[in-house]
Amino acid sequence: MATGQGDTESDGESYTRRWEPRLERLKRGWSRYSEHNIGILGLVILGIFSLWAVVPGVFAPHSTDWVAYLGEPPIESRLTAEQVRSLPHPPAFGDPFFAPLGTNANGNGILSLVIYSASNAMYIGLAAGLLSSLVGVPLGLISGFYGDTWIDEAIQRFVDIMYGLPFLPFLIVLVAIRGITTTNIIIGIAVTSWLNNCITIRGETLSLKERSYVESAKVAGASDTRIIFRHIMPNVLPISFVFLAQDAAGAVITQASLAYLGLADFTANSWGIMLENIKSQGYIFDAWWWLLPPGIALMLMAASFYFIGFSMEDVTNPQR
């Protein structure tokens, strides 16, 4: 066949032409994504949370160390007994201080705490979701592609064993050994959540590898790696997006419940820890302004991951 040696100039040219159709496809993808308002909504919510996570100072009225009546640190004076009795303070707009969502029992502004906690939730959600996808999807692909061989058997038996691992005791042991840090929580969540990923992707791969386009790629001489990643993986991406969203949402909620149980790093700002504090300090039925915001934020974050996953399924699925 031809022996082409394009000089650098035409290389650059061909490069642009080569990428043009892909840009076109990206645009088409976006129009498909935006067909669903729910996807846009998810993206907007996630966008706001991301901004909160990156530049919380712009949105929060105070820092996390702000104390009602006394203001920002350095704090020289102390609260009077009467002031302490008024805490947690319901929402106040300038009189005697500005705290649109009120304060907690320590006098910290709820709105500021919620905004500063976003980074923690984002970190956990994305890290745990990506980690479990990065482990589960490739293992599922390999297990499915080599279905009914010792490779598949080994992976599936390992998954079975991991399924036997009880989540809470495992996490307690992990935290006891390695200390209460956010990283450990992420590891703990990822270790248990990649299993579903792996099994679903394996099933999907088992059916996809029988398609005749896989056979025709084999006839053309394609290697196993090429078949797995070029022909099968694009077809399992829709489900893996759904799982990514699900795992991310699950991780955020799990971290909150672990914080509630005292298994998460309590010095970090986290919606879950806020909820744990309100419980331990006994204000659940008295301070709605303290109870509701972290709960709603959690719900919105989980929902946004689901919404995005739902719309991404449409983008990556060419059937419609």
Partner 1 sequence: MDRPDDREPLVEIEGLRKLFDQSQGIVDTVLGREPQPVRAVDGVSLDIYPGDTVGIAGESGCGKTTLGKLLVKLYEPTEGTIRFDGDDVTDMTREDERQFRKRVQMIFQDPFESLNPRMTVYDTVSEPLKINEMVDGYDERRSRVKQVLEDVGLGPAEVYLDAFPDELSGGERQRVAIARALVVDPDFVVCDEPVSMLDVSIRAGVLNLMQDLQDEYDLTYLFISHDLSLIRYMCDRAGIMYLGNMVEQGPTDDVIDDPKHPYTEALFDAVPDVELGDDRRRANATGEVPSPRNPPSGCRYHPRCAHIIPPEDWGGSQAAFRRAFQFKLKVQRGELDAEAASDDGDPVESLVEQGLTLDVPEEYRSEREIETGGHRTDAASLDLPSDARTALDEAAEALLDGDQDAAVAALDEVVTTPCASRKPRPLPSGTREVACHRYEDGDANTGAIGGSNGGLNAAPAED
Q: Which residues bind partner 1 (CB under 8 A)?
A: 1-6, 10, 14-15, 17-18, 21, 24, 211-213, 215-223, 226, 230-231, 234-235, 318-319
Task: Compare residues 3 and 267 and give the one whose CB is closer to partner 1.
Answer: 3
Task: Compare residues 212 and 267 and give the one whose CB is closer to partner 1.
Answer: 212
Task: Compare residues 72 and 153 and give the one whose CB is closer to partner 1.
Answer: 153
Using H for helix, E for strand and C for coil, what is the string for the chain? Answer: CCCCCCCHHHHHHHHHHHHHHHHHHHHHHHHHHCCCHHHHHHHHHHHHHHHHHHCHHHHCCCCCCCECCCECCCCCCCCCHHHHHCCCCCCEECCCCEECCCECCCCCEHHHHHHHHHHHHHHHHHHHHHHHHHHHHHHHHHHHHCCCCHHHHHHHHHHHHHHCCCHHHHHHHHHHHHCCCHHHHHHHHHHHHHHHHHHHHHHHHHHHCCCHHHHHHHHCCCCHHHHHHHHHHHHHHHHHHHHHHHHHHHHHHHHHHHHHHCCCCCCCCCHHHHHHHHHHCCCCCCCHHHHHHHHHHHHHHHHHHHHHHHHHHHHHCCCC
Task: Compare residues 78 and 226 and give the one whose CB is closer to partner 1.
Answer: 226
Minimum distance from CB of 244 to partner 1 (Å)?
A: 18
Task: Compare residues 235 and 246 and give the one whose CB is closer to partner 1.
Answer: 235
Minimum distance from CB of 26 to partner 1 (Å)?
A: 13
Minimum distance from CB of 104 to partner 1 (Å)?
A: 51
Minimum distance from CB of 10 to partner 1 (Å)?
A: 7
Task: Compare residues 164 and 221 and give the one whose CB is closer to partner 1.
Answer: 221
Minimum distance from CB of 219 to partner 1 (Å)?
A: 5
Minimum distance from CB of 6 to partner 1 (Å)?
A: 5
